[in-house]
Amino acid sequence: MCNRSPSRVGIALGYKDGNAWATEGWWNIGPNSCETLLRGDLVARFYYVYAIDYDLGGEWSGKAFMCTRDKEFTIRGIEDCLARGYDRTGFFEVDTQEQKSWTVQLTEPAQKTAAQRGAVAHPPPQKKP
**What pairing do the DSSP bridges indicate for beta strands 73-76 and 87-95?**
unpaired
Count the domains in the chain: 1
Q: What is the pLDDT of residues 46-105, one digit of tens each?
A: 889 999 999 988 899 999 999 999 999 999 999 999 999 999 999 999 988 877 778 888
* Residue 103 resides in a domain: yes
* Residue 127 resides in a domain: no
pLDDT score, position 99: 77
pLDDT band, residue 124 (cuts 50/70/90)? very low
* Residue 95 resides in a domain: yes
pLDDT score, position 68: 97
- Give the Cα separation of 91 and 126 in Å (integer): 28
More confident residue, 108 or 126: 108
* Residue 65 resides in a domain: yes
Q: What domain range is 78 assigned to? A: 2-122
Give me the chain's average pLDDT, please.
83
Strand order of the β-sheet with 2-3 is 33-34, 2-3, 103-106, 120-122
* Residue 87 resides in a domain: yes
Average pLDDT over residues 21-42: 91
* Residue 129 resides in a domain: no
Identify the three-state secondary structure at position 127.
Answer: coil
- Give the Cα separation of 95 and 48 in Å (integer): 9
* Residue 17 resides in a domain: yes
pLDDT score, position 113: 44
* Residue 128 resides in a domain: no
CA 1, distance to chain mean position in Å, is 8
pLDDT band, residue 121 (cuts 50/70/90)? very low
Residue 105's nearest CA partner among 90, 92, 124, 122 is: 122
